[in-house]
């Protein structure tokens, strides 16, 4: 069973998983496209792995030509 701590990743790790820059994640968070969580002690941004998996699948879907 995964620990609660391992269910969250830092912005750097999340950016690497999605192959985007950390600034892109910050912008998506500000636009409410991805939910951000905050570390209780240092207020760093954290992201749930489950949320990242959903976004990753959406990014991998082929787009239909218009």
* pLDDT value of position 5: 56
Whole-prediction pTM = 0.80
Tell me the per-residue pLDDT of 15-52, one tens digit each, with 9 for 90 and over: 999 999 999 999 999 999 999 999 999 999 999 999 99
For the residues 1-24, what does the mean pLDDT come to?
A: 85
Top-tier CATH class for 5-60? mainly alpha
Which helix H or strand E contains 8, and what residues bound it? strand 8-10
């Amino acid at each position: 069973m995964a620990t609660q701590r391992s269910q969250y990743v830092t912005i750097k790790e999340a950016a690497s998983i999605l192959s985007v820059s950390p600034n892109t994640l910050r912008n998506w968070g500000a636009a409410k496209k991805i939910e951000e969580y905050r570390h209780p002690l240092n207020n760093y941004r954290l992201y749930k792995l489950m949320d990242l998996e959903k976004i990753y699948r959406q990014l991998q879907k082929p787009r239909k030509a218009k």
